[in-house]
Structures are given as structure tokens and as C-alpha cells.
């Protein structure tokens, strides 16, 4: 029984991992660009949810929309103010630009919100359901389901719609896409906005059960990178699969070997899988 | 040309000012985490240090039982003022070492207080020892810090074996009161602080005849603790003792609620449980949790009450235990510098060795301050406090209690 509970916890955790990793993989797939400020986007999504709850009340639907919308704007602004200028620069410039952005956002949040931890007040989604003896935390379940749905939605958007095709066309060959009448700047700004908005939703979901502070992005970003490289950089279904896989492995190894060793198991498997499939589970070589 | 001239003039004036100003100033260092996962605690300790220095540098006759409060500055050094150089070690021992070097070689501090994380204190004290600069440990409790025969390390706070002993004495008292307690679970974060205290607590439990059925180590910046809570639920100890920092404490308390798990009692070893973020974040679902504290606000008009009011004015938050112990260390350090009558580190060290404060001269629950040959304060002691409603109240030892113990743990209800 307890093993089933451990697996359920792992699945719920994995859904959320998938959710906050899909934004990262989108940016990579779009423009071979690693966003090191990704964890800070999650953190800002959490604070957006928190501020909505404390200033205007409302519920999870409202604060999730606010988090998504504000992060969308942030993503677009970051693209036009920063990314556009470093895209054609050397790779080290690209890396340092988002790394600098991460530090800027982290310590700006520190300045505004101080170092104290805050938590989201309870909503109608708070609490736990007992399903046949298995405890299911509602916020985690909602987070996991939203994660899976949004990841699938994003995949469909990219593969089944005209906008998606344009985004992918720019990713494939910027110059050719431009010749076909696509404006790469718009598409890439849209990709940044979408990625940030997804990350904002992830932040709002996580905020329902995780303490919020300026430094939270640090703990979360590492997992996002592992999920994305395991799933295959640029692959949205890969992020989903890898997220759930890592969630379950983490829970099981924390239960059987002790929490201090769970990272050892996760990273050992990670290295082993990349050894066999360097492009990641669902990535293309 | 004009610009260069102006810069030179400004530079000269600034230089002259430091010299004049420098004559009446004694510099001390404070090593604390202002970023990283314990940044909140570091901010509060910085404020506590600043408040201690404010009390020492200015006349506060209303706090006259505290050393140097009634007078302005350090009388034996011609009224010299203390100045604190605060540095941020980020919770990282190697950063702590580098910054200790900086404090000694660049800022020329005469003594150092630090540093919240035991792991950082352990590393930083070794540097101070090498340079012969006194290091006064305010609140790091890992036993090994004072077990290396160091001459310049002095620790004011009570340490792990004392706490382990106190927790078991408390549980014994609960047994005498008719509550059944036989098994204990220890959950601790996996750096120096959690490991050493966890070990001492488990040792104390075994020697008092309790069965330690779970001993769980985890990483404090973990994102999920549900597997650990399920493990605890399965082994079902009567009492769980947490040795945890802030973010992880909040996560554990929330996860215990979501997995509907309540042991008979939850004891938190200070740190995260006394962080000012704890009660606003999870106070409503942790009713009856026990923590230790050497700090109690006391009755209106008392010295501790006044200090609490001053601290609230400064930070908007009530004083917490780690900050109070940190502040105590500043008084001990200032008292020694004053008695030394000099800024020579060896004279200050000698004065620290001779420190002898009684319980009326301290702001914490210590029985006084007197260092043994290892540099540990042999008069250090702690209270146990329990979260009842929206505040912690002192519940143990019984002769100091302000309210009776609530048993069992209520949690959320």
C-alpha cells in the first residue's frame, strides 16, 4: 500500500516537473538557446500568484491567469530588451546574458520581497483527498494534471497549427523562414512569451504547496535542466516523459535508500541513459 | 584637469575624515548568511548585531543590567564606538573562510562573531585561529566546533549534547505525567548542523531508554519530502524530532498535513521552527509543536521586553531565538574588548577567558557566561517553548513555564 502511495507522490511530482521544464525545452527547440533564468521565472510566477491572492483575493483560476499573463509580458520584454541582441553573438555571451538576468531577477526579488519565506493562503484547492486509502494532495494533483495538459497542448500548438509551423520554421532556418514571409522576431518573441507564460503557470501551481522565497528558483532550475536533457532538448513530449520518470525515481529512491541518496540514484540513471541515448529519450540526434 | 583636481580633493577629504573618525572606532566583524537558503535568518541576525551595537554605543540606562548598556561606547577605550563589518557567507563554508580572511587582513577587525551555519563556523574559526583573532560563536551548535583545542574560539550558545539531554528530560517528565512515550524518530538535514545535533539527540534518546525507530537524513534544499513523511508514517514513532532549516521545515509541516500524519508530539530543534517566517506560514497547521529557545520576551517593563520592542521597531518583527543568541554574543564580545582596554587580539582573548557574567547580566535564558578550557560556555542552557495559538510560550522547565504543556500534538484539527 505504502509503495503505491510513494509512486502516486512520484507521479504527482513528475507532472509538475514536466510543467516547469516544458518552457525551457521550448526555448531550446526554438533557437538553441539555454535560458539560465528559467528558475527565476518560476519564482516570479510564484510571487505573482502570491501577490494576486494577497492584494485582490480571488482563487487559483485568477492567480494562475495573472501569473501566466504577467510572465508572458516579461518573456516578450526580455526577448526584445536582451535576447535579440545576444542571439547572433558568441555562445558565451548568450550563456552569460541569461545568467546575469537570473542574478538580476533573483536579487531584485530579494530587494522587493526580502529574504523571508511566504506561503500562499489556502484556497478551495487546498487539502487532501483519501482515495481508497491513498492520500492525494489536491494542489499537487491539479498541478500535475495541468502540467500534462499544457505540455500536450503546447505540443499540439507546435505541430498542428499555422503559428506552430511558423515558430518551427524559424527554428529550422531563420533566413529561409524570412524569405517565406515570416517575421522571425515576432515568432521568437512569441516563443519567449509562451515559454515564460508556461513557466508562470508552473510557478502558480507549485506555490500552492511550496514555500515562496527569492531563492527558490535555484533549487528548481537544476531539475528543469536534468528533465530537459533527459527528455531530449527541444522535445516537449520528452520533457513530459522525463519529468514523470524523474519524479517517480526520486520518490522511490528517497523511500528505499533514504532522501540523502535520491539525487545519486537520479543522476546515475541520468548519466546511464545519456550514455546510451546522448540525444535524450525523445530527442533527435 | 579640473575634474582630476576635484577627485583628488574629495579623496583627500575622505581620507582625512576616516583618520579622524577612525580614532574612536573599534571594528568587529560579523559573518552571517545574507543570501542562500538561510538569508532570512541572516537578515535577522544582522539586525540583532546592529541593535546590540546601538545599545553599547549609546546610553541606555533602562537596560543597565546588560554590560555596557548604561554608558556610551567602551569606557575603558575612551568611549570608543563599536563598528560592525557585516559579510555574507551565503551558507558556504569556503566563502566563509575567504571572508574571514578579508575581515582580518583588509578590514582589520579585532574580533569576529558568527555565523549561523555550523559548517561555516567550523571552517571560519580555523582561519581566525591561524591569525590569532578571537571568534565568538553566537549560535552554531555542532559539537565539533569547540573540540579542536582552539585558543581563539569562544562559544556562548548551548550545544547539541545539552539539547539532546533537555529533550529527553522533557519526555521523561511527560511520561511521569502519564503520557506514553517509547519510540523516537529523528529527522535531520545532512550538513554539520543536522548531522551533529541528530547524532547527539539519537544518542541521548538511546541512553534514556527510548527506541530510535527512524533516523532520516535529507538535503535542506530538497523540493519534495513526501517519501520521508511516508516512511515516518509507516514506522510511526511517538515523537519526531526535526533538526531542520526554514524552507524544509515549512515543506515538512505542509506535507505532514497533506498526508494526514500526526505523531503524538513534534519537537523542532530551533532554526527553521523559530524563523520569523514559520508562524505566518504554517502556524495554523502546527499547533502544539515544541521548539527550544534561549529567548523569552518576558513581562512588560523587563529588559527582554524592551529589547524585543526595540528589535520590532528596527525590523518590524519580534526577536527570534537565533538572533537573541547572536546578540548575546555581541555583548560578551564587547564586554571583553572593554575589559581588555585595548584592541590587541591577545588582550581580548585573555579578557574572554576571564569572562564571568551571571544570569542577571544576560538577555537569554543562560545561567550566565563562563568559558571552560575548550571555549564552550559552561553556563549555557535552554527553555522549551510550545506553539499555542499564534505565539510560542515557555512550557519547560516547569519552574520557568508560563503555560502548561499541551499533549498530544494538535497540528491542524
What single DSSP character describes residue B354?
Answer: T
Pairing of strands B211-218, B183-189: parallel
Cα–Cα dist B393/B400, whole Å = 11
Query: So what's the pLDDT on residue B208?
Result: 95
In a domain, A285, yes or no: no
Mean pLDDT taken over chain A: 87
Cα–Cα dist B235/A68, whole Å = 42
In a domain, A281, yes or no: no
Query: What's the domain count of chain A?
Result: 1
* pLDDT, tens digit, 9 for 90 and up, residues B269-279: 988 998 888 99
Which among B224, B250, B276 has CB closest to A119?
B250
Per DSSP (E only), the strands in B359-411 are 368-369, 383-388, 391-396
Cα–Cα dist A88/A266, whole Å = 35
> Given the C-alpha cell 521523561, which residue does it identify?
B172
Cα–Cα dist B109/B136, whole Å = 13
Select the residue from B215, B224, B278 to test the A interface by mutation, using most A Cβ atoms within 10 A: B224
Query: So what's the pLDDT on residue B60?
Result: 94
Query: So what's the pLDDT on residue B2?
Result: 58
Provide, rounded to the nearest whole percent, the portion of chain A with pLDDT above 90.
Answer: 25
* pLDDT, tens digit, 9 for 90 and up, residues A31-65: 778 889 999 999 999 999 999 998 888 889 999 99
Q: State the smallest CA–CA distance between residue B32 and chain A in angstroms.
A: 13
In a domain, A235, yes or no: yes
> Given the C-alpha cell 522511490, which residue does it identify?
A252
Q: Is the pLDDT of residue A273 over 60?
A: yes
Helix (H) or strand (E) holding B377: none
Kindly indicate the confidence band of residue A240, based on its pLDDT and cuts at 50, 70 and 90: confident
In a domain, A284, yes or no: no
Give residues 239 to 268 of B whose Cβ lies within 8 Å of A. 246-247, 250-251, 254, 257-260
> Is B203 strand, coil or helix?
helix
Q: Which residues of chain B have pLDDT under 50?
A: 15-23
From the list B12, B138, B55, the residue with the least C-alpha distance to B311 is B55
Query: So what's the pLDDT on residue B3?
Result: 58
End-to-end CA distance of chain B: 76
From the list B342, B310, B336, B344, the residue with the least C-alpha distance to B324 is B310
Q: Are B139 and B44 in contact (CB under 8 A)?
A: no
Tell if the CB–CB gap between A259 and B225 is shorter than 8 Å. Answer: yes
- C-alpha B351: how far from its chain's center? 23
Q: Chain B: residue nearest A2 by CA? A: B230
In CATH, what number is assigned to the domain containing residue A71? Answer: 1.10.3470
Q: Are B172 and B398 in contact (CB under 8 A)?
A: no
Q: Is the pLDDT of residue A142 over 80?
A: yes
Query: So what's the pLDDT on residue B21?
Result: 43
In a domain, A123, yes or no: yes
Q: Are B125 and B31 in contact (CB under 8 A)?
A: no
Q: State the smallest CA–CA distance between residue A186 and chain B in angstroms.
A: 36
> Given the C-alpha cell 497549427, which residue does it identify?
A161
Q: Chain B: residue nearest A131 by CA? A: B259
Q: Is the pLDDT of residue A1 over 90?
A: no
Domains of chain B: 2-158+299-369 (3.40.50.2300), 160-293+383-400 (3.40.50.2300)
Provide, rounded to the nearest whole percent, the portion of chain A with pLDDT above 70.
Answer: 99
Which among B39, B225, B254 has CB closest to A115?
B39
Query: So what's the pLDDT on residue B397?
Result: 83
Residue B25 forms beta bridges with which residues?
B81
In a domain, A282, yes or no: no
In a domain, A33, yes or no: yes
Domain housing A26: 2-276
Q: What pTM was estimated for this model as a whole?
A: 0.75
Number of H helices, E strands in chain B: 12, 14
Q: Tell me what the mean pLDDT of segment A78-103 comes to.
A: 89
Chain A residues close to B259, C-beta within 8 Å: 5, 128, 135, 137
Query: So what's the pLDDT on residue B359?
Result: 87
Q: Are A143 and A45 in contact (CB under 8 A)?
A: no
Cα–Cα dist A219/A224, whole Å = 10
Tell if the CB–CB gap between B230 and A210 is shorter than 8 Å. Answer: no
Query: So what's the pLDDT on residue B309?
Result: 95
* pLDDT, tens digit, 9 for 90 and up, residues B149-169: 999 999 999 988 888 988 999
* pLDDT, tens digit, 9 for 90 and up, residues B314-368: 998 889 889 999 999 999 999 999 999 999 999 999 999 999 999 889 999 888 9
Cα–Cα dist B180/B404, whole Å = 18
Cα–Cα dist A46/A217, whole Å = 10
Pairing of strands B383-388, B391-396: antiparallel
**Which residues from A are below 8 Å from B when comparing CB atoms?**
2, 5-6, 9, 13, 107, 110, 114-119, 127-128, 130, 135, 137, 140, 209-211, 213-216, 218-220, 223, 250-252, 254-255, 258-260, 262-263
> Is A151 strand, coil or helix?
helix
Query: So what's the pLDDT on residue B214?
Result: 92
Q: Is the pLDDT of residue A285 over 70?
A: no
Three cell numbers, residue B222: 530538497
Query: So what's the pLDDT on residue B270?
Result: 85
Q: Is the pLDDT of residue A80 over 70?
A: yes
Tell if the CB–CB gap between B277 and A117 is shorter than 8 Å. Answer: yes
Amino acid at each position: 500500500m505504502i509503495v503505491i502511495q510513494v509512486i502516486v507522490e512520484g507521479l504527482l511530482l513528475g507532472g509538475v516537473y514536466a510543467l516547469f521544464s516544458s518552457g525551457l525545452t521550448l526555448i531550446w527547440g526554438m533557437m538553441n538557446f539555454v535560458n539560465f533564468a528559467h528558475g527565476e521565472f518560476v519564482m516570479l510566477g510564484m510571487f505573482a500568484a502570491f501577490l494576486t491572492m494577497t492584494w485582490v483575493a480571488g482563487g487559483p483560476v485568477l492567480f494562475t491567469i495573472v501569473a501566466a499573463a504577467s510572465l508572458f509580458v516579461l518573456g516578450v520584454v526580455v526577448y526584445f530588451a536582451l535576447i535579440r541582441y545576444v542571439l547572433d553573438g558568441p555562445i558565451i555571451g548568450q550563456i552569460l546574458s541569461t545568467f546575469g538576468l537570473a542574478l538580476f531577477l533573483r536579487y531584485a526579488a530579494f530587494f522587493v520581497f526580502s529574504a523571508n519565506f511566504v506561503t500562499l493562503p489556502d484556497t478551495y484547492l487546498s487539502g487532501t483527498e483519501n482515495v481508497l486509502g491513498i492520500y492525494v494532495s489536491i494542489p499537487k494533483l491539479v498541478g500535475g494534471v495541468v502540467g500534462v495538459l499544457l505540455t500536450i497542448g503546447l505540443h499540439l500548438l507546435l505541430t498542428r497549427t499555422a503559428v506552430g509551423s511558423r515558430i518551427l520554421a524559424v527554428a529550422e532556418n531563420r533566413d529561409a523562414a524570412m524569405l517565406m514571409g515570416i517575421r522571425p522576431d515576432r515568432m521568437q518573441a512569441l516563443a519567449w512569451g509562451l515559454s515564460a507564460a508556461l513557466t508562470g503557470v508552473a510557478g502558480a501551481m507549485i506555490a500552492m504547496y511550496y514555500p515562496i522565497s527569492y531563492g527558490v528558483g535555484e533549487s528548481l532550475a537544476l531539475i528543469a535542466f536534468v528533465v530537459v536533457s533527459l527528455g531530449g532538448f527541444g522535445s516537449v513530449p520528452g520533457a513530459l516523459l522525463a519529468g514523470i520518470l524523474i519524479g517517480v525515481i526520486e520518490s522511490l529512491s528517497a523511500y528505499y535508500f533514504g532522501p540523502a541518496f535520491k539525487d545519486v540514484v537520479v543522476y546515475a540513471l541520468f548519466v546511464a541513459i545519456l550514455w546510451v541515448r546522448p540525444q535524450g529519450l525523445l530527442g533527435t540526434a | 584637469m579640473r575634474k582630476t583636481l576635484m577627485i583628488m580633493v574629495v579623496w583627500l577629504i575622505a581620507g582625512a575624515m576616516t583618520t579622524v573618525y577612525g580614532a574612536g572606532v573599534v571594528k568587529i566583524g560579523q559573518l552571517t548568511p545574507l543570501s542562500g537558503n538561510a538569508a532570512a535568518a541572516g537578515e535577522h541576525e544582522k539586525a540583532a548585531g546592529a541593535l546590540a551595537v546601538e545599545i553599547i554605543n549609546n546610553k541606555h540606562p533602562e537596560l543597565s543590567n546588560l554590560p555596557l548598556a548604561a554608558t556610551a561606547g567602551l569606557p575603558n577605550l575612551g568611549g570608543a564606538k563599536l563598528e560592525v563589518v557585516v559579510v555574507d557567507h551565503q551558507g558556504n563554508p569556503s566563502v566563509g573562510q575567504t571572508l574571514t580572511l578579508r575581515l582580518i587582513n583588509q578590514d582589520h577587525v579585532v574580533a569576529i562573531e558568527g555565523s549561523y551555519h555550523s559548517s561555516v563556523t567550523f571552517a571560519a574559526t580555523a582561519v581566525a585561529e591561524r591569525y590569532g583573532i578571537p571568534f565568538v560563536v553566537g549560535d552554531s551548535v555542532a559539537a565539533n566546533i569547540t573540540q579542536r583545542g582552539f585558543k581563539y574560539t569562544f562559544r556562548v550558545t548551548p550545544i547539541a549534547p545539552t539539547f539532546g539531554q533537555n529533550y529527553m528530560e522533557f519526555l521523561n517528565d511527560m511520561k511521569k505525567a502519564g503520557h506514553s512515550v517509547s519510540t523516537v524518530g529523528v529527522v535531520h538535514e545532512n550538513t554539520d548542523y543536522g548531522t551533529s545535533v541528530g547524532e547527539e539527540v539519537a544518542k541521548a534518546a538511546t541512553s534514556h531508554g527510548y527506541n530510535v525507530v527512524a533516523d532520516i537524513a535529507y538535503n535542506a534544499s530538497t523540493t519534495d519530502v513526501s517519501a520521508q513523511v511516508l516512511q515516518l508514517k509507516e514506522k510511526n514513532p511517538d515523537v519526531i524530532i526535526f533538526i531542520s532549516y526554514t524552507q524544509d521545515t515549512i515543506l515538512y509541516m505542509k506535507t505532514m498535513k497533506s498526508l494526514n500524519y500526526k505523531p503524538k508530539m513534534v519537537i523542532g530543534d530551533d532554526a527553521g521552527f523559530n524563523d520569523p517566517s514559520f508562524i505566518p506560514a504554517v502556524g495554523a497547521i502546527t499547533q502544539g509543536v515544541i521548539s527550544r529557545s534561549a529567548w523569552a520576551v518576558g513581562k512588560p517593563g523587563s529588559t527582554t521586553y524592551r529589547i524585543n520592542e526595540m528589535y520590532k521597531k528596527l525590523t518590524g518583527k519580534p526577536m527570534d531565538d537565533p538572533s537573541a543568541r547572536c546578540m548575546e554574543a555581541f555583548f560578551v564580545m564587547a564586554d571583553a574588548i572593554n575589559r581588555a582596554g585595548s584592541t590587541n587580539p591577545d588582550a581580548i582573548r585573555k579578557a574572554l577567558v576571564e569572562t564571568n557574567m551571571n544570569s542577571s547580566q544576560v538577555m537569554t535564558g543562560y545561567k550566565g557566561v563562563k568559558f571552560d578550557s575548550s571555549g564552550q560556555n559552561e553556563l549555557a542552557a535552554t527553555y522549551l517553548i510550545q506553539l499555542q495559538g499564534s505565539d510560542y510560550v515557555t512550557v519547560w522547565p516547569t519552574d520557568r513555564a508560563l503555560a502548561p504543556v499541551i499533549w498530544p500534538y494538535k497540528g491542524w484539527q
